[in-house]
Amino acid sequence: MQMYPLKFKPIFKQRIWGGQKLREVFGKDLTLGAKIGESWELADLPEDKSVIINGELSGTPINKALIKYPEEITGDAGFEYHFPLLIKILDAQDVLSVQVHPDEQTCDEMGKGDPKTECWYIIDAEPDAVIYKGLKEGVTKEQFREAIVSGTTATLLNKIEVRPGECHFLPAGTLHAIGAGLLIAEIQLPSDTTYRVFDWNRVDENGRGRELHLDESMESINFDQDASKLKATTTGRLVDCEYFTVDKGHQTAGCEKLLQRGQMQVVMIISGNGEFIKEGQNNVSFSSGDTILIPAAYQGVMVFREETKYLAIQTTDYYV
């Protein structure tokens, strides 16, 4: 078959810190009043697999499409893996817990979990919105352990004000938390391994706090991290790591972008709309909030009907 840009049905996740921004900003079909914190735009995890919603492959889960058309989609005829990224949009109406994801070495040493490196692109931010990224310079493992016991973990975190258009890279081992009032595009490895180390001393109606994973967190946190490598990026190539790259695109109305065959990529539309056009095929429209997988075998033109901002994401040869 002739490959074409693939669109997917979002997988919505209710979270206590979520809201309705995904409906208000992107028109996503949420249940009114539900606290939706995450829209999994492209996922291939054991319990959650994105389903294609357009064209000849409509109704096909991403894993089955990859099995049937590995070379056409990925560019690798011998591809026998899950899709190597998990792509989300997050709506944080309240601050999230402080957490960390392990790297490959830590997973091997502990004999469990999957590594996760990720990045956050700030789509929208309320005034004075912040994230927490990494530890303050000089904080030792012993100091951090004492802060956990005393409930003062927050005093040791780097608190960073953020603005729309910024991208924050979070390599595995980075202690982090998303603050309230943020709409974020998250690109990450396909792992759901998360170790919670601090939840702002919150308790439920019965006076119980959420489960923490202190031993795993202490093993996973990179206490020797170079904070200078965690600075935000705003233009051009936003992320260039061993697992994926993220480039920021900005096109005015009426512009066209030629898409050459050869490498699979994912495009997240932050704002604007347009179409993918190829002679002999039906046009595939796109608009703000869409995440589209462009197969390696596809060659066409991306036409921008209005000013459009987007993220172009490519994987490396890292597969799980």
Known catalytic residues?
196
Question: Among 147, 133, 134, which residue's Cα sits nearest to residue 225?
Answer: 134
- Distance in angstroms (rounded) separating the CA atoms of residues 246 and 314: 7
Tokens matching residue 154: 């927050």
SS3 of 230, please?
Answer: helix
SS3 of 99, please?
Answer: strand
DSSP class of 229: G
Among left, alpha and beta (phi > 0; psi -120 to 50; other), residue 59 is left
3-state helix, strand, coil in the chain (%, to 5): 15, 40, 45
- Distance in angstroms (rounded) separating the CA atoms of residues 133 and 149: 21
